[in-house]
Structure 1
Amino acid sequence: MSESTEHCRKSHHSEATKKNLTTRLNRVEGQIRGIKNMIENDVYCDDVITQLAASQAALNSVARILLDGHMKTCVKERLLEGDDEVLDELVTTIQKLMRK
């Protein structure tokens, strides 16, 4: 692992961003618990699917925030340091996000 790769192995999120992400993830966690309860209580399938879609949308929102920050900090810094391998990593990350 190169020095520049190690350099960005920790996030660079502000406290406000961490709080925002944590709040969003707590909400998703609550949604997932609610979906589990819906299934246990034999709630109508379409209603469960609607809640699943809402949870997925919330997770996608978290991913977009993280990707935006990653591109503006880690990717930018590594490119400025001459580490073009970060582009392959970024493509792989975006491909993972697009699998659905």
Structure 2
Amino acid sequence: MAERTEAAKPDAAEEKAEHTEKKPCCCHKKKERSEKEYKDLIHRLNRIEGQIRGIRNMVEQDAYCPDILIQVAAANAALNSFNKVLLGNHLRTCVANDIREGHDETIDELLKVLQRLMK
């Protein structure tokens, strides 16, 4: 894979700043992520995005249905894995901190999220 020149390639902090400036969050809360957590999540999403593009290419090239279905299952598994990592990070940081600070409503929020995830 060809690498972009350093001048054209934004560093992770710039990418993070661009992301936050361009797309406002859909909720009122925000989370400060460590550089490692941020890079891991972005890396996972980039891989998933590549899988989805691959599935689209398979459809465009009239690939055999079972072959496409297997790739869709792999993309679903990658999204589930992303959710598990994100949820684990959320529990270890946001939820734990809120509980320590006496914000019990965070538990109700977490239960609602889990109910939506388990549909």
Q: What TM-score results when the alignment is normalised by the length of structure 2?
A: 0.72
Aligned pair partner of 1:13 in 18, 29, 33: 33
Deviation at 1:12, TM superposition (A): 3.4
Tell me what 2:73 maps to.
Answer: 53
Give the share of equivalent positions with the same residue, in percent.
51
Name the count of aligned residue pairs: 92
1:13-92 → structure 2 map (5 Å cutoff)? 13-92=33-112
Distance 2:55 2:85 in 1: 24
Question: How far does the alpha carbon of each residue in 1:44-94 deviate from its partner, in whole angstroms, 9 at most, with x for none?
Answer: 111111101110111111111111111111111111121111111101111
- Are 1:13 and 1:69, in contact at CA under 8 Å, matched by a contact in 2? no
Root-mean-square deviation (CA), in Å?
1.2
List structure 1 runs of 4+ shifted beyond 6 angstroms: none
- Are 1:12 and 1:73, in contact at CA under 8 Å, matched by a contact in 2? no
Q: Higher RCO, 1 or 2 (CA under 8 Å, sep at least 6)? A: 1
Unaligned runs of 5+ in 1: 1-5
Q: Which amino acid aligns with 1:71?
A: L
